[in-house]
Amino acid sequence: MRDLDERLARWKQAELISDEQAAAIIRFEAGEQPHRSTLIAEVLGYLGGALAIVALWVFIAQFWGRLEIWAQLTLIGVLTVGFIGAGAWSRTGEGEAVRRLSSFLWFLGIAGIAGWFGVFSDQIIDVHDDLQALWITVPTFIVAALLWKALPRLLQVVALIASVHAVVLSALAQFDPSPTEWFGLIVWGIGVATVLLTWGETLQPTGTSYGLGIVAILIGPSMAAGMLDTAWPLWLGLISAAVLLAVSVPLREVLLLIGGAGAIFVFLPQLIFTYFEKSLGIPVALFLSGVVLIGAALLIAKLREEVTGA
């Protein structure tokens, strides 16, 4: 079995198999087949969670305004504790399906935390809108971080990184005047930090964490360029693309290659139009963008061979 573990580790590093496939191979070799009852429990858990959300939405639409504040908080609190408790209970089981179910239930619990503190800060302490954002985002981040630590799966890391963005931007909104025009660069910075923490094996799962960081790197400079009404954030995005492409080869990480390629296709046309639209005209700028992107595509295809070894 030890020899099998070593081989599976090499295969995963070479991206021949995924983590889920490796776990399935280990179960098969150990004579453990997925139980149909586990899969049924998972499906029922998803169905129950979905029905609870639909029922709550219908209830809110019809009766929410008639409820006293204490009743609203109690209802959200009971659902939140129920989701988190059910996720903790199901996590004690074995199998990939059970862990997926726990992840889903805990994600609903994190949403419940945000909802509870939203009602509490709005109706009980009646804070200012900007301060209310902190009342919602800080507890949500704390719970998301704890649940991610206990179960580092896709939905948990999504909730964690989203809550980090929300906390940082909410904190900056407290300043007077609020530096909203710099929010795009903050998003970019959090994206860079996310990629670095993933590379350092601090954030898991790797694929989702890389993807979330890359999305922030793509969105941030475009936001900043629009808010600051200047082109230099686009150059920052293009430099980010070059770095992602450069490190994807030694790290043999396809997601970084895809992120760098996406950044080139996002920022290059914007830069060309920024500098050449008025002097060359839209048709020529379009043609120039197409030529440059074709060259970039050829470069990316070559880098892909280096990354994948194909």
Between CA 185 and CA 71 the distance in angstroms is 41
Q: Provide the residue count of the chain.
A: 310
Asked if residues 238 and 264 have their Cβ atoms less than 8 Å apart, the reply is: yes
CA distances from 194 to 158, 168, 280 (A): 11, 14, 39
- Residues 6 or more apart in contact with residue 150 via CB below 8 angstroms: 91
Question: Among 281, 262, 261, 265, which Cα is nearest to 273's?
Answer: 281
228: left (phi over 0), alpha (psi -120 to 50) or beta: alpha
State residue 32's pLDDT score.
47
Count CB-CB contacts under 10 A for residue 51.
Answer: 10
Count CB-CB contacts under 10 A for residue 130.
Answer: 15
State residue 94's pLDDT score.
61
State residue 147's pLDDT score.
94
State residue 112's pLDDT score.
92
State residue 258's pLDDT score.
84
Between CA 63 and CA 257 the distance in angstroms is 50
Between CA 109 and CA 284 the distance in angstroms is 53
State residue 165's pLDDT score.
96
State residue 43's pLDDT score.
63
Instruction: Kindly report the pTM of this predicted structure.
Output: 0.76
Between CA 277 and CA 280 the distance in angstroms is 6
Along the 310 residues of the chain, how does pLDDT read in single tens digits? Answer: 456 667 777 777 766 777 667 776 766 665 444 455 555 655 665 676 667 667 767 766 677 777 788 888 998 899 899 989 988 887 776 666 677 888 888 999 999 999 999 989 888 887 777 788 899 999 999 999 999 999 888 999 999 999 999 999 999 988 878 788 889 999 999 999 999 999 988 998 888 999 999 999 999 998 998 888 888 999 999 899 889 888 887 888 888 888 888 888 888 887 877 777 666 655 666 666 666 666 666 666 666 666 665 5
CA distances from 39 to 36, 43, 100, 214, 273 (A): 5, 6, 10, 33, 52
Between CA 179 and CA 177 the distance in angstroms is 6
How many CA atoms lie less than 13 Å away from 234 in the CB half-sphere?
A: 19
First to last CA, the chain: 30
Rg over CA atoms, the chain: 23
